């Protein structure tokens, strides 16, 4: 059994890692840290896990936890991650980092959107942990930068079109909607039940959300040219789920059947990407609790635009599930281990 | 007291009309029809109205109800409306029709998106019932075609920019999200609680929703040129609310302050349009139960696009409330009569 | 116009008071305090109120606000209320206090469930502000203690049966369910959207909720003997609404028709209490946003028990609406002024 | 691999069976019937299952499906079940029936609450499929009558107290709340999103719900005397989950610690029953998607009553999960096979 450490186990992403790994045949969690709940059984914080997982939260600062596991997930905020990851690597461990700290290859871009970087020497080495794009590199890396939730939905949705240069990148509009778990488990008025329920709103409108540089980095690589995206996130009154609706002008005369064939070709061997049949479109409730990314396509002949819709569970394929997928690759396990459960519906 | 008839009182729009009119100082409901609930007190169908409104549902076919009211709202599906409206007008009544039957001035466009029109001679006379655009014409008309819910949110959001030719209409993308009450009260698997709750999905993607020609008609008039829109509706797990996120490339060098000034100038005298302060954006929960349309603006300097966000309660400003606003105008009542209640939050 | 002061305007109860009073023909809000948002327009805290109400939050400590209004609502936590109410009374103002501080007539009971009382001399004078029970006393009082949300639903539901001694008080079980707005607007993990949505749980089980002594005081008066209740509150994934299901063994041989007649007799003249027809039962969605208390009755012949179900909107009839009803009585306004709106459904 | 047939796969219970069995190591689904969707891939009806399960819906009438599987689940309404089950048994198959048709041992009681029984000769043979009570009998039976959702939550919650005669059965009150999936997937106005969301209501009040005789049969056996229960179901605005709050007068002088010890003793070896620590109580969100039944206890010293709270996922432990647990027992598989996933939270 591979011994797993989870740094930051008590957030929604951390506990979802714990939930997934509790059903993973090849690993056991031997360390799990939480500043806030040090000394507490995780099942006292999350009663859902009682009887499923017997972990006590460790203090991340207090001890030599690096020795107590072989492989680490860092599920802490950006900036906190870069304080921890280098020492884990130095101790010879492999790491999937779920923060933003190692996603951007260009330190200048990182520092423009976040703050100074204290271990930028690792940026060249870190692999962007989107297995559908970088499977081989992930297999060989010791540090995978797990993608953001929004970027996962966007990049998987657009990759085939951009690679084949079928759309005009300058016309790209991305309208995304996320469940509230994406805001984390901190006490805050803005995410109280009464503020979110029976409502809907955009936030960080106007090109200011921090997932933008990450999308642009990856979409630009796919397109072979620089891309600047229009991206607007919205807050959904659901716990789990991201749905991205993406619009772009067609750059070639192509019909919907041909686009479908392209997507089928691209994703046929990908277990976690499901292409909706023609005429069908994704829904977040159909991926809930699973590592799937569902993609649907429509063509608006009247405007010459293609509309790509993708849906994921933001804390599975958008965070913890994808992190386990990366861990599987980095350790030579079958890629779907621990991730084969069907979505929960209703 | 003006005697009011509601044709089709038992749908969500009809009952919202009844609710609003029960608090309106100048009118009383004297006829209300429902094929399905003929002979039943409306409060048996909607217990929320018990003690507020003492109406029994009439059979729309059975009697000469035209004589029993002075003013009519037709809250029935398209095609059914055109079977009723002409006879009401012939009986000398004024009508606000909440269906799509009299919204499109061009019968060819109507018949392309719907089905043959049996009273197209009324199209020239009917006034598009968006008071913020057509107040004077509404005051003098006998038939107001109450706008669709999506078009209301879109047209109010874009009017200032199009009139001033500040955006390139060819770049316009409209991504809208609606609460489930928009789907009506018919028994259907697709709108069961378990199918909608904790989920989110698009529908009618690719330029096929019937509100498109209505938007295009009005946006084209505002712009002084033909406009073809990209429009995608989505279904929200909320009962009430529409939020539209609209993207367009700027056609002029203008900053956000100037756009704000333009919107303030345009809507300052409009009681039901509220401009969000700079940095703030609308949320459906902040207009719930009210006749307000909230509008927020953001500018994405990186892409040269402006983002307009508008929010309404789909069954108030998007249907019944706007219909009452039109009725007020058509009868010389103060425009806000019966519509002054503040939104319900939380 | 009566000048109104709201002490504690920025909680869910305070803002609901502001919303209701914004539509009240006889009053205007001249003072509204909030420690947290001092100096901020209330519409910046609650954008729903933009254009409806132009109030800036005052500092409750900073000035002589008592002079700036004629009538006060204190919508602050218990213990804070007793620091403010005596000085308002001393300044010659009338007060509706929405906290628990003046609800219990017996200071010993208060101090057993809460903490020491600093103005117990007012307890004898304060009137329990449930108009359906104490209308005349409320009309003449200067301090009305607005009932708790759970007690309102329970007392109105049980009053007729207890007065007529038709049930055995020792068998009384009260199972109540409340919407999340009852927990207030403080940032807290327990009331985050993701913790509450798609879930249901009891809390304070085993006779420990602080509304118990208040229920027992009033139910005992009605029954003419001491009553100890079994009361269990639960948290519903809704914003507004309380539904109480109450069980008691019948103490007399009476059929459901007779009980219905008793309730009809009791509440026929009560505008805000609606008796459901036989076979119908209340639902929180049918009172949402209104000051109604709906009551339904069923008799279980197999067990000899009667089941009373009552539903209110916890922040209207359970708090702000009832407070306005009391204010109307204390000022000689028609009792329903400002409270006649029909419930919002859907 | 054991070949499995699911009769009635397209309801919420049937599809949950399919979901669970798709992750079960010892079985494969070889037949699945649906009158409504005959000939359609199940993944077209439930897109959540795309890529997880490759089943086409069969016509239940059209063919000799009994030959195509070794073990059957009948997930059809009562009365329909008794038309199918006898022939499956006659063909030598074992069956878990999820309807009510074989739960009641006394045909007279069945016919009083339902309608005439056409295979009452099987009642004596059928085993009530609650493994925590009847594990050994289930292991040897060929027909298990899978318990109702409400009874599962109630019986597991009360069994220890009744067996030990610690409560007075005549004082028993059961107040239960269920998610909307319990109402099934038929199109109906009452379970539309807009009718259920943001609301809460009781139904079938007054001792008339059909799960009552089932509870009384099992509770009476446990108590060794006849028990008549007061039972009130309510509809929650959640998709999955039942929570039952049960009240009873203590019949013995016992403290909470002793009751906790009794429950621990009773359920310590039961994988699927989790006892909440003292001071904690169950919540439906903590069992969502799992086969757990969580039980919490409180004692109200003031009234001498004990309150037992139990929570299950109504379509897992309350239906499909328990059916698989029974199937495991009937086939000699480890009892938890396919059912070990941790609950989904948030």
Which chain A residues contact residue D12 at CB under 8 A? 346
Residues C12 and C47 in one domain: yes
Four-residue CA torsion sign, D136, D139, D143, D147: positive
The half-sphere exposure of B75 on its side-chain side, counting CA atoms within 13 A, is 32
Residues D93 and D179 in one domain: no
Which chain A residues contact residue C180 at CB under 8 A? 192-194, 197
CA distance D29 to chain C (A): 30
Residues B202 and B70 in one domain: no
Which residues of C, range 213-252, sit inside 8 Å of B by Cβ? Answer: 239-240
Residue of chain A with shortest Cα separation from C199:
A239
Residue B219 counted as domain residue: yes
Asked whether the beta carbons of residue C12 and residue B346 sit closer than 8 angstroms, the reply is yes
Residue of chain B with shortest Cα separation from A172:
B303
Residues A180 and A237 in one domain: yes
Cα separation, C156 vs C141, whole angstroms = 21
C206 touches D at CB < 8 Å: yes
**DSSP class per residue in A116-182:** --S-GGGTTT-EE--HHHHHHHHHH-SEEEPPPHHHHHHHHHHHHHHHTT-B-GGG-EEEEEE-GGG
A157 touches B at CB < 8 Å: no
Cα separation, C202 vs A181, whole angstroms = 23
Residues B112 and B195 in one domain: no
Which residues of chain A are under the pLDDT cut of 50?
Answer: none
Task: Give the pair of three-digit tokens for residue A71.
Answer: 């492989």
Residue B302 counted as domain residue: yes
Are B237 and B271 contacting, i.e. CB atoms less than 8 angstroms apart?
no
For chain C, the average pLDDT equals 97
Question: Which among A245, A259, A179, A278 is positioned nearest to B231, based on CA atoms?
Answer: A245
Task: Give the pair of three-digit tokens for residue C77.
Answer: 């936590």
From the list B200, B283, B346, the residue facing A177 with the nearest CB is B200
D37 touches B at CB < 8 Å: no
Beta carbons within 10 angstroms of residue B261's beta carbon: 12
D108 touches B at CB < 8 Å: no
Sequence-separated (6 or more) residues with CB below 8 Å from residue A282: A243, A276, A294, A295, A296, A309, A310, A311, B201
C317 touches B at CB < 8 Å: no
End-to-end, the C-alpha distance of chain B in Å comes to: 34
Which residues of B, range 268-307, sit inside 8 Å of A by Cβ? Answer: 281-286, 288, 296, 298-303, 305, 307
Asked whether the beta carbons of residue D187 and residue B185 sit closer than 8 angstroms, the reply is no
CA distance A322 to chain B (A): 21
Asked whether the beta carbons of residue C230 and residue D288 sit closer than 8 angstroms, the reply is no
For residue D62, the model assigns a pLDDT of 57
Q: For an interface test with B, which of D194, D236, D237, D313 has the most B Cβ atoms less than 10 Å from its Cβ?
A: D194
A192 touches C at CB < 8 Å: yes
Which chain D residues contact residue B239 at CB under 8 A? 193-194, 197-198
D46 touches A at CB < 8 Å: yes
Asked whether the beta carbons of residue A51 and residue D240 sit closer than 8 angstroms, the reply is no
Residues B167 and B262 in one domain: yes
CA distance C170 to chain B (A): 33
Are D154 and D310 contacting, i.e. CB atoms less than 8 angstroms apart?
yes
Cα separation, A245 vs A174, whole angstroms = 6
Give the chains touching A; criterion: ≥3 Cβ pairs < 8 Å: B, C, D
Residues D61 and D166 in one domain: no
For residue C62, the model assigns a pLDDT of 57
A211 touches B at CB < 8 Å: no
Asked whether the beta carbons of residue A193 and residue C239 sit closer than 8 angstroms, the reply is yes
Residue B132 counted as domain residue: no
Beta carbons within 10 angstroms of residue B134's beta carbon: 18
Are A306 and A248 contacting, i.e. CB atoms less than 8 angstroms apart?
yes
Write out pLDDT tens, residues C81-102. Answer: 999 999 999 999 999 999 999 9
Residue C328 counted as domain residue: no
D189 touches B at CB < 8 Å: yes
Whether pLDDT at B146 is above 60: yes
Which chain D residues contact residue C300 at CB under 8 A? 206-207, 230
Q: For an interface test with D, which of C206, C235, C299 has the most D Cβ atoms less than 10 Å from its Cβ?
A: C206
Q: What angle do CA B54, B58, B63 make, to 5 degrees?
A: 135
Residues C230 and C305 in one domain: yes
Question: Which among A177, A209, A168, D50 is positioned nearest to B233, based on CA atoms?
Answer: A177
Residue A257 counted as domain residue: yes
Residues B231 and B268 in one domain: yes
C211 touches D at CB < 8 Å: no
Residues C112 and C240 in one domain: no
Asked whether the beta carbons of residue A303 and residue B229 sit closer than 8 angstroms, the reply is yes
Write out pLDDT tens, residues C266-314. Answer: 999 999 999 999 999 999 999 999 999 999 999 999 999 999 999 999 9
Question: Does the global pTM surpass 0.90?
Answer: yes
Question: Which among B120, B150, B134, B123 is positioned nearest to B210, based on CA atoms?
Answer: B150
Write out pLDDT tens, residues A244-262. Answer: 999 999 999 999 999 999 9
Cα separation, B344 vs B290, whole angstroms = 8
Asked whether the beta carbons of residue B180 and residue D193 sit closer than 8 angstroms, the reply is yes
CA distances from D113 to D76, D83, D212, D319 (A): 18, 18, 9, 20
For residue A75, the model assigns a pLDDT of 98
Whether pLDDT at B63 is above 80: no
Q: Which of A85, A110, A125 is where one domain is finished?
A: A125
Asked whether the beta carbons of residue C193 and residue A239 sit closer than 8 angstroms, the reply is yes
For residue D61, the model assigns a pLDDT of 73
Domain holding B81, by residue range, is 2-125
CA distance C209 to chain D (A): 11
From the list A185, A195, A237, the residue facing C189 with the nearest CB is A185
Residues A165 and A113 in one domain: no
Question: Total domain count for chain C?
Answer: 2
Write out pLDDT tens, residues C43-72. Answer: 999 999 999 999 999 987 755 888 999 999
Asked whether the beta carbons of residue C201 and residue D240 sit closer than 8 angstroms, the reply is no
Q: What angle do CA D288, D294, D300 make, to 5 degrees?
A: 130
Q: For an interface test with B, which of C21, C22, C47 has the most B Cβ atoms less than 10 Å from its Cβ?
A: C47
Q: Looking at residue C88, which CATH number applies to its domain?
A: 3.40.50.720
Beta carbons within 10 angstroms of residue A148's beta carbon: 24
CA distances from B260 to B171, B275, B280, B292 (A): 21, 8, 12, 18
What count of residues does chain C have?
346
Active-site position among B141, B149, B276, B293? B149
Q: Which of D125, D160, D187 is where one domain is finished?
A: D125
For residue C61, the model assigns a pLDDT of 73
Residue C185 counted as domain residue: yes
Write out pLDDT tens, residues B152-190. Answer: 999 999 999 999 999 999 999 999 999 999 999 999 999
Residue of chain C with shortest Cα separation from A188:
C187
From the list B200, B239, B282, the residue facing A243 with the nearest CB is B200
Distance of CA C297 to the CA centre of its chain: 22
pLDDT averages per 10-residue partition of chain D, 346 residues:
97 98 97 95 97 92 81 97 95 97 98 98 98 98 98 98 98 98 96 98 98 98 98 98 98 95 98 97 98 98 97 98 98 98 96
CA distance D309 to chain C (A): 8
Q: In what order do the strands lie in the sheet with C71-74?
A: C27-33, C2-7, C71-74, C94-97, C143-145, C127-128
CA distance A186 to chain C (A): 6
Residue of chain D with shortest Cα separation from C286:
D199
B207 touches A at CB < 8 Å: yes
Cα separation, A331 vs A329, whole angstroms = 5
Residue D163 counted as domain residue: yes
**DSSP class per residue in D95-107:** EEE-SSTTT-S-H
Residue D82 counted as domain residue: yes
Q: For an interface test with C, which of D168, D178, D195, D199 has the most C Cβ atoms less than 10 Å from its Cβ?
A: D199
Active-site position among D141, D149, D276, D293? D149
Write out pLDDT tens, residues D241-295. Answer: 999 999 999 999 999 999 999 999 999 999 999 999 999 999 999 999 999 999 9
Asked whether the beta carbons of residue B185 and residue D188 sit closer than 8 angstroms, the reply is no
Residues B96 and B171 in one domain: no
Write out pLDDT tens, residues C135-190. Answer: 999 999 999 999 999 999 999 999 999 999 999 999 999 999 999 999 999 999 99
Are B64 and B90 contacting, i.e. CB atoms less than 8 angstroms apart?
no
Q: Which of A92, A125, A158 is where one domain is finished?
A: A125
CA distance A72 to chain C (A): 26
D196 touches B at CB < 8 Å: yes
From the list B203, B281, B305, the residue facing A201 with the nearest CB is B281
From the list D202, D232, D238, the residue facing C199 with the nearest CB is D238
Q: Looking at residue B199, which CATH number applies to its domain?
A: 3.30.360.10
CA distances from A162 to A225, A245, A299, B68 (A): 10, 16, 16, 63
Helices (H), chain C: 12-21, 42-45, 80-90, 107-113, 131-140, 149-163, 193-196, 212-223, 256-267, 321-330
Q: For an interface test with B, which of A170, A202, A229 has the most B Cβ atoms less than 10 Å from its Cβ?
A: A202
């Amino acid at each position: 059994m591979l011994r797993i450490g989870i740094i930051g186990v008590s957030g929604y992403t951390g506990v979802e890692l714990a939930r997934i790994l509790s059903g993973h045949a090849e690993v056991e969690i031997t360390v799990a840290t939480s500043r806030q709940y040090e000394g507490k059984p995780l099942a006292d914080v999350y009663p859902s896990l009682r009887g499923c997982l017997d972990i006590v939260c460790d203090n991340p600062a207090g001890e030599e936890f690096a020795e107590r596991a072989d492989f680490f997930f860092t599920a802490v905020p950006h900036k906190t991650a870069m304080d921890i990851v280098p020492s884990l690597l130095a101790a010879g461990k492999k790491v999937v980092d779920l923060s933003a700290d190692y996603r951007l290859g260009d330190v200048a871009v990182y520092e423009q959107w976040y703050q100074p970087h204290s271990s930028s020497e690792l940026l060249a080495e870190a692999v962007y942990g989107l297995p559908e794009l970088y499977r081989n590199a992930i297999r060989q890396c010791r540090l995978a930068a797990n993608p953001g939730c929004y970027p996962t939905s966007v990049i998987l949705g657009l990759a085939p079109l951009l690679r084949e240069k079928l759309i005009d990148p300058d016309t790209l509009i991305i309208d995304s909607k996320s469940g509230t778990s994406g805001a984390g488990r901190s006490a805050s008025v803005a995410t109280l039940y009464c503020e979110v329920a029976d409502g809907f709103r955009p936030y960080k409108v106007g090109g200011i959300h921090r997932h933008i540089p990450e999308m642009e980095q990856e979409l630009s690589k796919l397109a072979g040219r620089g891309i600047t995206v229009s991206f607007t996130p919205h807050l959904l009154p659901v716990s789990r789920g991201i749905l991205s609706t993406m619009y772009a002008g067609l750059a070639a005369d192509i019909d919907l059947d041909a686009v479908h064939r392209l997507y089928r070709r691209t994703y046929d061997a990908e277990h976690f990407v499901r292409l909706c049949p023609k005429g069908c479109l994704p829904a977040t409730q159909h991926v809930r609790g699973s590592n799937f990314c569902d993609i649907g396509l429509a063509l608006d002949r009247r405007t010459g635009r293609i509309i790509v819709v993708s849906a994921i569970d933001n804390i599975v394929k958008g965070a913890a599930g994808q992190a386990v997928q990366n861990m599987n690759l980095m350790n030579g396990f079958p890629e779907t281990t621990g991730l084969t459960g069907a979505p929960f519906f209703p």
